[in-house]
Structure 1
Amino acid sequence: MVQHSNKMTAKKWAMGLLGAAMVFGIAGCGGNNVANNVESGTSSYNKEGLPIVNEPVKLKVLTVRWGSMGDTFTQNQWLKDLEKNTNVKIEWQVMSSNDWAEQKSILLASGTLPDVIIGNQSFGDSDIVNNLSYFRPLDDYIEQNMPNLKAAMQETPEMKKISTFPDGKIYSLPARLPSRPKSSRQPVINKVWLDKLGLEVPDTVDELYSVFKAFKEKDPNGNGKQDEIPYIELGNDIISPFGIADLNNNFMVIKEGNAVFYPTSEEYKKALEWENKLYSEGLLDKELFTQDDTMRSAKFQNPDAPIVGFSYQWTPDAVFGKWSDQYVTIPPIAGPDGNRYTIGNPIGMNLARNELLITTSSKYPEVAARWADQFYTNEASIQNFWGAIGTVIQKNDNNTYTLMDPPNGTSADAWYWDQSLRDFGPKYVSPSFEKSIVLSPKSGDGLKLELDKLGSEFATTPFPNVMYTAEEFQELPTLTTDIDGYVNTMRAQFITKGGIDKGWDDYVNQLNKMGLEKLIKIRTDAYSRYTSVK
C-alpha cells in the first residue's frame, strides 16, 4: 500500500515542477547526437563495463503504480545492487494512478521532466506523439550504448516494430515479459453439470448450443429452480469461433494479411444471427446489457449453487469462488467454417512499448541509456517481473529458476507486485531462456501456461497495437466515438430484437455516413507503417 507520506511527496514534487522549469529549462538539452553531449562525455563516463560512471550521478526516475501500491519495489535487491554496481543513484518518484491524470498535465505543462519515465501507464502513444520535444529519440543510443537491447531487437524484431513511431524514430523502449501465454481468455465450462447430464465437452458452435439448451432446461445444479444461466457476458469471446479474434478491442482483424474492419463482414453478420438465436431462446443472460461487473461477479459466485454454465476466463480459479473446482478450461470451439480461433497472439502475449523514456530534460542521456540497458538481460528481467533472486526467486544448481512461496496470507500476484516493477518497465527474456524458468502448473502464471496448451496453436494474429500520427490522433476520437458507439448499439439491437437480414444494409450505410472509410484508411495506413519496419 502507498503510505500517505509517499503520495504527498510525489504530489509536492509534481507541483514543484513549474518552478523547476525556470531552473533547468530544456532548450539546451534536446537533440540526439550522442557524441556532442558534453555533460555525459566527461572522463567519468564509461562507454563499456561497470561502473557506468566513475563519479556518482543521480537520475530522477518517475513511475506510476496502480492505486495505492506504493514504492516497496524500490527495495528489490537487484535494483539496490544496480545502484552500487553502476554508480548511478536513483531518486524514485512513485506516483499513484488514482491522481496521475492531473499530475501528468502539471508535469507536461511545466516543460521540465525527470530524467527517465518508466512504465507504459505513465505516458501513452498520444502523450508522446503530441509532446515529442520532451522525449529523446533513442535510435542512436540503442545503437551505441545499449548492446543488450540491440541484441534483443535482433532476436525478436517485433520489439522494434512496436516501438517505431510514425516518423521512423524510437522514442520509447519496449519490453518482452517472461512466461506469458499465447492465448488470452479461453472457454471454461462447468464439468460437474456436463457429467450430471451425461454430456460431452462441446466441440463446435452447434454442440455448444445444445449444451446451453440442456443447461437451461434440465436443472444441472440440482436446486429445483430454473436459475441456470448458460452464458452471461457480452464481448468478443463468444463470437471468436466465427473468426473474430479481436485482441485489442478496436473492431479490426487481420485476414489473409490484410487489415479488415469486421463489423461489416459476413462473418460478423453470422455471429450476430447466432447470438440472436441464443438470446431469443433464453440461453444468454437477460441482463446481458444492463449488468455491471459487480452484478456479474455475484452471479459467478452465487452463494447457494453455481448458476453460470459457460464462460471465457484467464484461469477458472479467478472468478468462480468456492465453485472453482467444478469448472475446467476446454479447447477453443470450432466455428461454422470448421476452424478454431483463439484470441491472443501467436508470438505471445508478452510485448509492450512505452516502458522507458529518456527526456530532453536529462543532462545525462548516455548514462540513462546504459542504465536502462542493464534491465535487458534475462536475470534482470525475471527479477523485475517477480522479485529478486534470493527473495522471491530461487536460482538452482542446474541453472533453472523457481519461484518461492509467498508469505502466509499474501497471494502470489500481490507479492510479485510488492517486490518488483512487475508488468511495467524495460525487460527482455529470450524465448530460449524461458525453458529455465520452472513454474508451478497449479496456480498463477504456471497454471495459465499449462492451460495455454489447449488453445495456443490456434492463437490468431491480431490487428497489432499500431502507432498513429498526431494528425491521426486528432481525427480518431470523433470517428471512433461515433462509429464504435453505433456498432455497439446495433449489436445490442440485433441480438435482442433480430431483424438482421432486413436491417443490415441500412446499418452498413449508416456506418459509411459516419466516416467509416476515413477510419479504415487511418487504421490501414498505420498498419502499413507497422509492417514496413525492418
Structure 2
Amino acid sequence: MKMSYWKKALSIGLAAVMTASMLAGCGGSGGSAKETAASGGDTAGTQAAADNTASEDIPTYTIATVRWTDAWPTDFLESGFMKELEEKHGINIEWQVYYDSDWQEQKSLLLASGDLPDAFFGSICLKDTDIAQNKDYFLELTDLIDQNMPNLKAVFEKEPELLARAKDRNGEIYSLVKKLPLRPEVCGNVLYINKDWLDNLGLEVPKTYEELESVLEAFATQDADGDGDPTNEIGITGNVSLYTLSGCLRSYLSPFGTMVSRDNNYMGLVDGKPVFMPVEENYKESVKWFSDMYQKGIIDPEFFTQEESMRRSKLQAEGGSQVGLVSAWTADAETGLNAGQFIPLEAVTGPDGKHHVENAQNFLDISDRELLITKNCENPEKLLAWADDFYTDLASLQTFYGSIPDQVKDNGDGTYEVLVPTDGSSLDTSAWSNSMRDFGPKYMNPEFYDKVSLPADQGDGIKLSEDAVNGKYVAEDNVVAFPMVKYTDEELTQLTSLGTDIYKYVEAQFAHWVVDGGIDEEWDAYLKQLDNMGLQDLLTIQNQAYDAYLESMGK
C-alpha cells in the first residue's frame, strides 16, 4: 500500500518532536471552554451558566477512530472544517483516538465488553470479520440513508460500484463508503530504476524483462555507483514479511502477468477469470526468473531475512542509494533524499509481450466501513445528516488535504490550490497531520478535479504527473487484481480457516525456491499439497463471491 513502509519511518522520525502537540490536541475543546468561562467574574459566571445550559441541548456523539501513528497531531479534529461541520449540524463530537500499534488489543476489549462508542470512523477501525461476528452491535442503515443522506444517494446513483461496495451479500448496508479524489490511472506502485547508475555505466533504460535482468546484473557487478567497490551495489532488496510473495507478485514478478489483489489473498483475474496466482504456470516461470537473478547476486542475499529498517537504510543510504530497482508509490516514499537518483520505469514487456501495471483502485480508492453506527447511538439520524456533508466536493477536498485556508487556498473564482506546507514537511505528512486523509466518508465529483491544483513537485502532484509513463497500459492489461468482493458470514469463517495455512505455505515455498531452486522438480507435489490443504474449497468460495460481485454490479 502506499503508506505501508513510509508510515513506519515517519512514526520513528517525527514522534519525538510531535508527541507534545499531539497530546495537547487529543482533548475535546468543550471541557476547557467551560472551565475558562467559569474562571471569570460574575458576568463570566452568568455567561458560563447560559453556555452550559445551551450545550445540554446539543447532542454529543462519541466517535472512535484510529491513526497510523501518534506522530501525527489530532487537533484538526477540533478545529477548521471538522469543527465547522459540527456547528453547522448543531452537534458535538467527542473523538476517541486510538493508534494502530495497540488497536487490535483495544478493539478486542471494546467488542468483548459491548461498551461501544456511538460510531467508528474510518475503514482502519473494523474488518469485515469484526462486523460479521458482532452484527448485533451495529445499525442497518438502508432506510436511514434513504431518509437522511441525499448526497450519498446521489453518489450511489452516479456510481453503482459504491452502492455494490456498501451492501453485504444479503443486500444490507452496515457502513458508509468512500472514494478517494484526485487519483492516478496507475493506482498502485510502479518500479523506479536508478538513473544515476544507468548513466554511470552508459546503459539504456531497459524495455524488456530480459534487458532488465541484464541491467540489474551490471548494477550488481560493475561498480555502478563509482566508488571503486564493485561489490556494494544491490539490484533489488526486500525484507522479512508475512506477505513477501504477495508484494512481489504485484511488483518485481509482474512482467510475467502475476498481478494480484492487495487484500493478500493471492487472487488475480486473467481475461476476467479468477485465478489463485501461485498455482499458475506463469507464476512458476516468474519464480524461476527471480531465482536465477538471486543466484547471479542481483537479489539481495538478505531479501527474505532482514528487517524493514535495514532494507530502508540501504535504499536511503547517505551519499546515495545502494539499490538499483525499487517498487514504490513515488520514489521519495521509499528512497527519501535519494529520490533524485530514480526515474519511473516504463513497464517492461514480459514473456507474453505485454506491459503489466498495477491498478488497485478497487482496493486503494474505494472502500466501505468508513462509518459504522452502533446501537448505543441515540438519534442516529442527526449523525448521518452530519456524515452526508462529507459527500460534497469541498468537504472531500478538506478531509483529504486539510482545511481552508490553512492547507487549501480558495482562489475566489471557484478554483482551489493545495498549499505547500510552510513548516518544511512533505505534502503527504501535512495531509495526514491535518485531515483524515484516506479514511472516512468522502466523494468528489470528477468534474471538480480540474478546479484543484496540486504542487507538481510534492506527493500526489508527482504521482499524477508520472501517470503518463504507464497510464496508457491500464486499459489493455488482461491481468488485473481480484476486486474487493463481499463474502457471507459462513464464507468469511471458511476463508480464515483455509487461508491461514495455505498462504503461509505458498510464502514459504516461494522463499525456498528463490534461494534454493528446485521448483520444476517439486511443482507437482506442491500442487497436490495445496489441494490437500483445501485450495479447491477456497477457490469455490472466491468464485461464488466474484459471481455475486458481478451480479451486484449489473454485469
Per the normalisation by structure 2, the TM-score is 0.84
- Structure-1 residue corresponding to 2:69: 67
Match of 1:419 in 2: 434
Does the alignment pair 1:203 with 2:207? yes
Q: Where does residue 198 of structure 2 map in the other structure? A: 194
Which residue in 2 is equivalent to 1:141?
144
Taking a change above 3 Å as real, the CA distance of residues 217 and 395 of structure 1, as seen in their structure-2 partners, is same
Give deviations 1:123-144, integer Å, cap 9, x for gaps.
1111111111111111122222
Distance 1:286 1:366, change over 3 A: same
Aligned to 2:34: none
Report the counterpart of residue 345 of structure 1 in structure 2. Answer: 360
Q: Conserved in 2, the CA contact under 8 Å of 1:215 and 1:229?
A: yes
User: Taking every aligned residue pair, what percent have the same amino acid on both sides?
Assistant: 40
Partner of 1:228: 233
Q: Report what 2:171 is aligned to.
A: 168
CA offsets, 1:234-264, max 9 Å, x none? Answer: 6221111111112413210011222111111
Q: CA deviation digits over 1:90-112, x for unaligned, max 9?
A: 22222233332232223223334
Give 1:15's aligned residue.
none
CA RMSD of aligned residues (A): 2.2
Partner of 1:507: 526
Question: CA distance change for structure 1 residues 57 and 521 in 2, over 3 Å: closer, same or farther?
Answer: same
What amino acid sits opposite 1:365 in the alignment?
P
2:221 corresponds to which of 207, 217, 221: 217
How far is the alpha carbon of 1:425 from its aligned partner? 0.8
Please tell me whether residue 98 in structure 1 is matched to residue 98 in structure 2: no
User: Counterparts of 2:406 and 2:355 in 1: how far apart (Å)?
Assistant: 42
Q: How many residues align?
A: 491
1:400 to 390, 415, 418: 415
- What corresponds to 1:485 in structure 2? 504
- Given the superposition, is the C-alpha separation of residues 161 and 273 from structure 1 closer, same or farther in structure 2, using an over 3 Å criterion? same
Instruction: Point out the more displaced range, 155-164 or 355-364.
Output: 155-164
Contact 2:62 2:117 in 1 (8 A): yes
Alpha-carbon distance change, 8 to 326 in structure 1, aligned in 2, over 3 angstroms: closer
Of residues 227-236 and 325-334 in structure 1, the stretch that sits farther from structure 2 once superposed is 227-236
C-alpha spacing 1:349/1:182, structure 2 compared with 1 (3 Å): farther
**Paired letter, 1:231:** I
Shift of 1:146: 0.9
Q: 1:448 aligns with which of 460, 463, 467?
A: 463
Task: State the shift of 1:2 in Å.
Answer: 5.8
Letter in 2 for 1:89: N
How many Å apart are 1:388 and its aligned residue? Answer: 1.1
Q: Is the 8 A contact 2:26 2:97 kept in 1?
A: no
Distance across 2 between alignment mates of 1:273 and 1:100: 40
Aligned partner of 1:130 in structure 2 is 133
**Residue 292 (structure 2) pairs with residue 292 (structure 1):** no
Counterparts of 1:255 and 1:202, CA distance in 2: 26
Whole-angstrom CA distance in 1 between matches of 2:337 and 2:540: 49
- Counterparts of 1:512 and 1:348 in 2: how far apart (Å)? 28
1:171-182 equivalences in 2 (<5 Å): 171-182=174-185
Q: How far apart are 1:458 and its partner, in Å?
A: 2.6
Once the two structures are superposed, the pairs formed by residues 300-449 of structure 1 within 5 Å of their partners are 300-345=315-360, 349-449=364-464
User: Hey, what's the Cα distance between the residues in 2 that align with 1:176 and 1:148?
Assistant: 14
- Decide whether the 8 Å contact of 1:180 with 1:348 is kept in 2: no
Take 1:382 and 1:217, find their aligned partners in 2: how far apart are those partners?
A: 48
Q: Which moved more, 1:302-311 or 1:388-397?
A: 302-311
Select which of 268, 288, 294 maps to 1:279: 294
List alignment gaps of at least 5 residues for structure 1: 11-54
Q: Distance in 2 between matches of 1:75 and 1:90?
A: 9
CA distance in 1, matches of 2:331, 2:193: 9
* Structure 2 residue 481 is matched with structure 1 residue 462: yes
Aligned residues of 1:346 and 1:456 also touching (Cα < 8 A): no
Structure 2: 5+ residue runs without aligned partners? 1-17, 29-56, 239-243
Q: Alpha-carbon deviation of 1:497?
A: 2.1
Residue 118 of structure 1: aligned partner:
121
Query: Which residue pairs with 2:259 in the alignment?
Result: 245
Match of 1:190, as an amino acid?
N
Q: Secondary structure at the match of 1:385?
A: helix
Shift of 1:274: 0.9
- Larger displacement relative to structure 2 (298-307 or 493-502): 298-307
Structure (1 or 2) with the greater helix fraction: 2
Per-residue Cα deviation, 1:61-101 (whole angstroms, up to 9, x for no partner): 22122232353121342222222221122222222333322
1:495 alignment partner in structure 2: 514
